Amino acid sequence: MSLDQKTILALAERLENAELQRSDIVKITDDHPDMDWEDAYAIQYAIRKRKLDRGSKLVGLKMGLTSFAKIKQMGVEEPIFGFLVSDYVRQDGGAIEFDQLIHPKVEAEIAFVLKSALSGPGCHVGDVLAATDFIVPAIEVIDSRYRDFKFDLKSVVADNCSSARFVTGGHARKPQDLDLRNMGIVLEKNGEVIATAAGAAVLGHPAASVAMLANMLGKRGEHIPAGTFVMTGGVTEAYAVARGDSITARFQDIGSVSMRFT
């Protein structure tokens, strides 16, 4: 840790205010260039505590920057994780209030719901498949609190990995009934295809993303509890949306999810 507790809490407040007041800020490493990974996650956990203390419910976890498309788009090289709270949840086919967001982008993601807990180190794809209750499709709306989505890894970790909204739905399937590596995904905006991908876009196998999450949490003395909903990261690059846009993501074998920006 290079930052003291007071600074961690102040940065958490600054970032969460940027989210709640919909006003972007410059990346926090500009003021704190010596900030380390522990500081970055400490700020994220402080934002999580602020939300839970206010009555929000923790509803899942997410991995970010797990596909080559995302890594290339953002110019950063390592997967990261964040949390999902009830405030982010919207219904499948439902409205996303554009005015509550700064500069939203959408990404299609394969999500897992676990029936048993997972812990690292050494967690692998086999463990994840054995612990998975079912797989569902998701669309995540990311909305970096940083001006023009410009950040480095530590800044984006502190900002809860740009998390803003998500929708899940489709139809749940057991992992043994699916070919997760070859699962085709089509992302559409206003009825037009804007991106396509396969499950293997995420770390070679989307379950590898959940395993990596268990291993990253293991280093912190934490685990993924049974019942957790986990989004494994955007399979394609993220696409900017405007008010009035409709987004649909179609996933082979597990159905589709959609949202519209109003």
Residues 6+ apart with CB under 8 A from 117: 131, 223, 224, 225, 226
Q: Which is nearer to ligand OOG, 44 or 162 (CB)?
A: 162
Which positions touch Mg ion (CB under 5 A)?
Answer: 107, 140, 234
Residue nearest to ligand OOG (CB): 64
Q: Which is nearer to ligand OOG, 140 or 152 (CB)?
A: 140
How near is the Cβ of 231 to ligand OOG at its closest, in Å?
7
Which letter, b or e, does each residue of 24-48 get, where b requires 16 or more Cβ atoms within 10 Å of its Cβ? bbebbbeebeebeeebbbbbbbbbb
Q: Which is nearer to ligand OOG, 78 or 177 (CB)?
A: 78
- Torsion, Cα 204 237 217 57, to 10 degrees, reads -130
Rounded to 10°, the helix 37-53/5-21 angle is 60
How near is the Cβ of 110 to ligand OOG at its closest, in Å?
11
How near is the Cβ of 161 to ligand OOG at its closest, in Å?
4
Which positions touch ligand OOG (CB under 6 A)?
Answer: 64-65, 70, 74, 107, 140, 142, 144, 156, 161-162, 233-234, 238
- Through-space distance between the first and last CA atoms of the chain, rounded to whole angstroms: 42
Q: What's 173's DSSP letter?
A: B
The one of ligand OOG, Mg ion, none whose footprint includes residue 208, by CB under 5 to 8 A per kind, is none
